[in-house]
Amino acid sequence: MKTELNNEAAVKAGPNTEGMNQEQLRQLEEGVSLKIDRNKDFSNAPSVLRGEGVTRIFTTGKTRTVAVDHVNFNFHKGELISIVGESGSGKTTLSKMLLGLLEPSDGTIYFNDQVRDISTGAKKRAYWKGIQAIFQDPFSSYNIFHKIDSVLEDCINLRGGKNLSKQEKYDMMTEACSFVNLKFAELTNKYPFELSGGQMQRLMIARIFLLKPEILLADEPTSMIDACSRATILDMLLKLRDETGMTVIFITHDIGLAYYISDAVYIMEHGKFVEQGPAEKVILEPQAPYTKRLISDVPKIHEPWDLSTVG
């Protein structure tokens, strides 16, 4: 059943671009592709978030679980850090402590070289102007009773734009949406659940664009999104970092993704950082046995996948 349909004339005529907007045209032309500057050196950049001996212990009855065990870290301004670990390694507990949702049992966290103080509600809110998060599941990140307009308006108010006129707010929201390739005019008066998963995650990034925090904590932001649209989300995060000099902390279990996008990688096992350093070094020349195992257990394309290493 070898049929060959060839529209030679049509092929020469080029793509049918009728009714497409500028952004779609650009995407069709060159595709959404990530360009990452690999030669940045962050060792002299100012530190935005630093931890010394950060520990969290959960006790239930007589059992004592050390979820995060004396970890030290230093995140620089504008750096993209990945924290990689399997389930149960303590990465979520650590991220909750970074966000100030959980108190560390021991250790100190420094924010902009000052000891972080979130003892009162007002201080907490002030801290959250500096750090924001994107979570894994966009479907459960929104209040279902709030329209998209109020989601975005809250961000403007939080940044001190409470007294701006309606038109000014509208313009800001439109700008934020166009940054993530959404059209605000189509979204206004809609609820977040009317959007697809990818659109919701992009709206999350639009929020971050309005808030412009110093630190963004992204907890598996692409794990519920298809691989083929993953690059779009990553591209927006990177664009945001380049524009605002934001520090991005990426929490993930996908070591391939961590390797691709990060400047620095921290490998976490049983609540400890077993290895940390520049991505190139940690992934290509792993020292810790755990890192070696993690990398060897991921199926690869160019190197053979050795199945005999597991029992």
Partner 1 sequence: MGKIMLEVNQLTTKYVTRANEDVYAVDHVSLKIEEGKSLGIAGESGCGKSTLALSLIGYYFPPLHYMSGDIIIDGKNISGLDPDTVRKSVLGTDVAYIPQAAMNALNPTRKVYKFIEDVIHAHGLDMTNKDIYDMAHKRFEEVGLPEEALLKHSVELSGGMRQRVVIAISTILNPKVLIADEPSSALDVTSQKMVIKMMREMMDKGMVKSMIFITHELPLLYNVTDDIMVMYAGQIVEKGTAKQMVFDPVHPYSRGLMRSILVPEAGTRDVKLTAIPGTPPNLKHPPAGCRFADRCKYAVPACKVNAMPIMEFEDNREYRCGHSVQHLREVYEHEDRAE
Q: Inter-axis angle of helices 148-158 and 166-179, to 10 degrees?
A: 110
> Which positions from 37 to 56 touch partner 1 by CB under 8 A, shown as an x/- string?
-x------------------
Q: What strands, in cross-sheet order, belong to the sheet with 114-115?
A: 63-76, 47-60, 106-111, 114-115
> How far is it, in rounded angstroms, from Cα 199 to Cα 154?
19
Q: Which of residues 179-198 bind partner 1 (CB under 8 A)?
A: 196, 198
Q: Which of 147, 164, 235, 292 touches partner 1 by CB under 8 A?
A: 235
CB of 71 to partner 1, least distance (A): 21
Q: Which of 174, 229, 244, 292 touches partner 1 by CB under 8 A?
A: 229
Residue type present at position 223: S
Q: 94: which 2 tokens?
A: 């650590």
3-state secondary structure of 189: coil
Which residue number, 230 or 272, has a Cβ lying nearer to partner 1?
230
Residue type present at position 269: E
CB of 146 to partner 1, least distance (A): 24
Report in angstroms the alpha-carbon separations of 216 from 81, 251, 310.
10, 11, 37
Paired strand residues for 227: none
Q: Assess contact for 23 and 181: CB atoms under 8 A.
A: yes
CB of 245 to partner 1, least distance (A): 22
Q: 255: which 2 tokens?
A: 């070591």
Does the footprint of partner 1 cover residue 297 (CB under 8 A)? yes
> Which positions from 85 to 124 touch partner 1 by CB under 8 A, shown as an x/- string?
-xx-------------------------------------
Does the footprint of partner 1 cover residue 166 (CB under 8 A)? no
Which residues lie near partner 1 (CB under 8 A)? Answer: 1-7, 10-11, 13-16, 24, 27-29, 31-36, 38, 86-87, 196, 198, 226-232, 234-235, 253-260, 279-280, 283-284, 293-295, 297-303, 305, 307, 309-311
